[in-house]
Amino acid sequence: MGWVDSHCHLNFASLEPETLIPKMQQQKCEAVLVPATELNLFADVLDLKNQYPNFVYWALGLHPYFLQSHQLSHLEQLEVQIQQNHPNALGEFGLDFMLKDSDIELQYVYLREQIKLAKSYQLPLVIHCRKAHDQLASELRQLNFHQGGFIHGFSGSVQQAKRYLDMGFVLGLGGALTYERANAMRKMVAALPDEGFTLETDSPDMAPAFAQGQINTPLNIPRIAEYIAQIRNQTVEQVIEQTTVNFFRTLGLNQEG
């Protein structure tokens, strides 16, 4: 069984997707999920999905990083895209309390409206969250959201992990766990159930320890899987097989797409 990258930005020109994707497929990459983060990227991600059907899965969202460029009318345009083009998930969006000078109340507006859209169209979420896991979980509960999805780049506590898993989410694990200082994260990873996580790179960002100073690409997934296998006392094959199954299940898809 091939591996997947459950969160990568292959629409970025710096990754040269036209040459990178064939390499990935040669090295047994079965699928990727590519999330958009602002309105002007929606068309690029759709083009990539159309160019590589049954390989590129896609999501659309309005990310808190780009709060200054979002307009409330973009939420209406997001809904039009959902109706017309049927993305696999809604995101990447969420809460980020590490952003300096960010309007937290406005972050909540975009968060809530996108959760409501996902609920209306029965789409899983692709969630970005930093220093706000308790607040995010509270919002998901209050809005009675049950479609699940991916908590991207998760490095929270075992208790926070369990809360998400109980709501039907899986946790995206990537390069952060490869650093020596990530002891608490490794303990969390060891405690997760097999069905509770997926592999991701966040390419081209969040390079793992073994690729510092390089452009991060999905080709790093097999090595990240080796780290997880060692942490969990499993084989690399077990980790890859289970996370691929988890990926397609979370998107509500059969393995063939």
Q: Residue 28: which CATH number?
A: 3.20.20.140
Q: Which amino acid is located at 123 in the chain?
A: L
182 in a domain, yes or no?
yes
- Could you tell me the pTM of the whole model? 0.97
255 in a domain, yes or no?
no
What range does the domain containing 228 cover? 3-250
How many domains in the chain? 1
pLDDT digits (tens, 9 = 90+) for 204-245: 999 999 999 999 999 999 999 999 999 999 999 999 999 999
DSSP per-residue codes, 66-119 = GTTT--HHHHHHHHHHHHHH--SEEEEEEEETTSTT--HHHHHHHHHHHHHHHH
137 in a domain, yes or no?
yes
67 in a domain, yes or no?
yes
184 in a domain, yes or no?
yes
256 in a domain, yes or no?
no
257 in a domain, yes or no?
no
Encoded tokens for 30: 């079965």
CB atoms < 10 A from the CB of 239, how many?
Answer: 25
Q: To which residue do tokens 């998901």 refer?
A: 140
pLDDT of residue 1: 85
pLDDT greater than 70 at residue 256: no
pLDDT band at 254 (very low <50, low <70, confident <90, very high): confident
196 in a domain, yes or no?
yes
CA–CA separation, 35 vs 51, rounded Å? 16
CA–CA separation, 20 vs 218, rounded Å? 9
Half-sphere exposure of 222 (CA within 13 A, CB side): 10
